[in-house]
């Protein structure tokens, strides 16, 4: 399991050419706006405000880099599918995200986040399909697990699994930034992705 001793915010970027140089491995986080990407980063690295979370969906409009243990970047990509943003802006983000995911050589895998309470939508399915076609390893995480009872979880996880067409043995990781549930699973999975 990955042990995080050090985590720091490196910067926010709007152009691929601005991204940090070098060969360090990168793991990107994708998901709908307000799915809890910042909260997942903060809880996983055990720092309260490393990634700025906001109650306003669509807040992350840049590619945000966090350096972990001086040898890995967690890369928070803009949330997709938020309606209050202009169509032009949405297309700009979409292009930026696609460009990053398809061209960044340092990218080792993608963490895809879903709110456990909601069925994946068309944007989610397109993203999953796109990543699969590009043969990018995907780790599926169901966030906000504390919001539903333990008894109801499997039903919700199966809805996500079926919508994304995942094999029966690929159950999304249940995660809660409130309780810390799933942190060790995420760290173990990150370790596996890096080891490739």
Sheet holding 72-76, edge to edge: 7-13, 63-68, 72-76, 25-31, 107-115, 138-143, 173-174
Coil, strand, or helix at residue 58?
coil
Is residue 57 included in any domain, yes or no? yes
Nearest to 146 by CA among 101, 195, 179: 179
Q: What is the pTM of this model?
A: 0.92
pLDDT tens per residue across span 113-137: 999 999 999 989 999 999 999 999 9
Domain holding 112, by residue range, is 7-195
User: Is residue 1 in a domain?
Assistant: no
Angstrom distances, CA of residue 133 to CA of 6, 27, 75, 167: 34, 18, 21, 16
CATH number at residue 173: 3.40.50.300
Predicted confidence (pLDDT) per residue in 65-92, tens digit: 999 999 999 999 988 766 566 777 777 7
On whether residue 40 sits in a domain, the answer given is yes
């Amino acid at each position: 399991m990955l042990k995080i001793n050090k985590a720091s915010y490196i910067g926010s970027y709007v152009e691929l050419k601005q991204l940090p140089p070098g060969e360090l491995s990168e793991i990107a986080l994708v998901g709908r706006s307000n799915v809890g990407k910042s909260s997942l980063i903060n809880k996983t690295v055990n720092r309260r405000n490393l990634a700025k979370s906001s109650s306003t969906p669509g807040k992350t409009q840049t590619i945000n880099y966090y350096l972990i243990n001086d040898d890995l970047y967690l890369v928070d990509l803009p949330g997709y599918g938020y309606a209050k943003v202009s169509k032009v802006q949405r297309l700009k983000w979409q292009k930026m995200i696609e460009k990053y995911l398809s061209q960044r050589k340092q990218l080792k895998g993608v963490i895809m986040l879903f709110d456990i309470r909601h069925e994946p939508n068309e944007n989610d399915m397109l993203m999953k399909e796109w990543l699969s076609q590009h043969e990018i390893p995907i780790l599926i995480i169901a966030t906000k697990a504390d919001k539903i009872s333990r008894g109801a979880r499997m039903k919700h996880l199966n809805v996500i699994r079926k919508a994304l067409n995942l094999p029966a043995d690929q159950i999304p990781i249940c995660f809660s930034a409130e309780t810390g549930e799933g942190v060790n699973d995420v760290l173990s999975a990150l370790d596996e992705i890096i080891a490739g």
